Structure 1
Amino acid sequence: MKKSTLIHSELSYLVATLGHTDEITICDAGLPIPAQVQRIDLALTHGVPSFLDTVRVMLSEMQIEGVIMAEEFAQVSPEHHQALLAELEQEKALTGKTINIGYISHEQFKQRTKQSRAVVRTGECTPYANVIFQSGVVF
């Protein structure tokens, strides 16, 4: 059995096969997922698993160098937005690497998910609790 935090087989495989600048999306329960993108559906019920719990586990396994969020996230769900920023600050401190943070409109965000290697759907029901992680390198 795997010893590290992430034991979900599809997510573990996804992280192991990411290349530099590949993107994955972690989303709330309501974000539309493009048909051509792999869907990894973790949603069990409202709030389970949460967006932030899923983000934490993914950060424990993958190196990121960039983050894209919808501008609406900070406006509509400021507590969750601030919690995500705190997780990213903690990740920067832990790894010593820069994480570029960018914002686009929610409509642009939905279009951008078409570039993702996969969309990971959580049970989160907080509006705009979505993020695109751009894979970095560990060296």
Structure 2
Amino acid sequence: MKKSVLLQSEFSHLIATLGHTDEVTICDAGLPIPSNVKRIDLALTHGVPSFAQTVDVFLKESQIEGVILANEFKQVSPNAHADILSRIKQEEEISGKQIRVTYLSHEDLKIKTNDSKGIVRTGECTPYANVIFQSGVIF
């Protein structure tokens, strides 16, 4: 049995196959998922698993160099937005690497998800709780 944090096999496989600059989206329960992108649906019910829980597991398993968020996230869900920025700052401290944060309109973020290698749907019901992670390297 796998010893690391992430046990969900599809999510684990997605992370294990990431290369430098590959993108992964972690989204709330409502984000439309393009049919051409691998969907990993973790949503069980409202709030389970949460966006924050899923982000935490992802960050423990992977190295990132960039993050893309929707501009609307800052205004509509400021507490959740501050929480993700705090997690990114903590990841910078752990990895010793700077993580670039970019903002797009929500409409442009939805289009950008087409470039993701996979999209992980959570049970989160906080508006605009969506993030695109850009994979980095550990060296």
TM-score, normalization by structure 2: 0.99
SS at match of 2:19: coil
What whole-Å deviation, never above 9, does each CA across 1:59-114 have from its counterpart, x for those lacking one?
00000000000000000000000000000011000010110000000000000000
Does 2:10 align with 1:2? no
Q: How many residues align?
A: 139
SS at match of 1:114: helix
Question: Which residue is equivalent to 1:14?
Answer: 14
Matches within 5 A, 1:25-44: 25-44=25-44
What's the C-alpha RMSD, in Å, of the aligned pairs?
Answer: 0.3
Does 2:123 align with 1:123? yes
Runs of 4+, deviation exceeding 2 Å: none
* Unmatched runs of 5 consecutive residues or more in structure 1: none
- Give percent identity, aligned residues only: 66
Question: Which residue is equivalent to 2:78?
Answer: 78
Does 2:124 align with 1:132? no
Distance 1:20 1:94 in 2: 19
TM-score, normalization by structure 1: 0.99
